[in-house]
Structure 1
Amino acid sequence: MSQWIHTDQAPNFPLPFSQALRAGDFVYVSGQVGVDPETRQVVGSTIETQTLQSLRNIEIILAAAGLTLDHVVKVNAYLSRLEDFPGYNKVYESVMKRPFPARTSVQSGIGDYLVEIDVVAYVHTVRGETKG
Structure 2
Amino acid sequence: MSEKLSKAALTPATHTTPPAKFSHGVRKGNVLQVAGQVGFGPAVEGQAPTPVGPTLREQTLQTLANVEAILTEGGATWEDAVMIRVYLTDTSHFAEFNEIYNEYFASLTEAPAARTTVYVGLPAGLLVEIDALAVLG
Give the structure 1 partner of residue 95 of structure 2. Answer: 86
The answer on whether the counterparts of 1:80 and 1:111 sit within 8 Å (CA) in structure 2 is no
Aligned length: 124
Q: Percent identity?
A: 34
Q: Which has the higher strand share?
A: 1
CA distance in 2, matches of 1:6, 1:111: 21
Give the structure 2 partner of residue 74 of structure 1. Answer: 83
- The partner residue of 1:102 within 114, 121, 125 is 114
CA distance in 1, matches of 2:27, 2:130: 17
Bigger radius of gyration among the two:
2
Cα offset for 1:92?
1.1
Query: Structure 2: which amino acid aligns with 1:114?
Result: L
The answer on whether the counterparts of 1:5 and 1:21 sit within 8 Å (CA) in structure 2 is yes
Q: Deviation above 3 Å: which 4+ runs of structure 1?
A: none
TM-score, normalised to structure 2, is: 0.83
Query: Structure 2: which amino acid aligns with 1:105?
Result: T
Cα offset for 1:94?
1.3
Query: Structure 2: which amino acid aligns with 1:82?
Result: T
Q: Secondary structure at the match of 1:27?
A: strand
Cα offset for 1:14?
2.1
Is 1:123 the counterpart of 2:132? The answer is no
Cα offset for 1:68?
1.4
Cα-to-partner distance string for 1:40-73 (whole Å, 9 max, x where unaligned): 2101111111111000001111111121122111
Unpaired runs of at least 5, structure 1 = 125-132
Q: Secondary structure at the match of 2:75?
A: coil
Is 1:18 the counterpart of 2:23? The answer is yes
Q: Secondary structure at the match of 1:76?
A: strand
Query: Structure 2: which amino acid aligns with 1:101?
Result: A
Of 12-21 and 2-11, deviating more is 2-11
Give the structure 2 partner of residue 32 of structure 1. Answer: 37
What is the RMSD computed on CA atoms of the aligned residues? 1.4
CA distance in 2, matches of 1:35, 1:121: 22
Give the structure 1 partner of residue 57 of structure 2. Answer: 48
Give the structure 1 partner of residue 12 of structure 2. Answer: 7
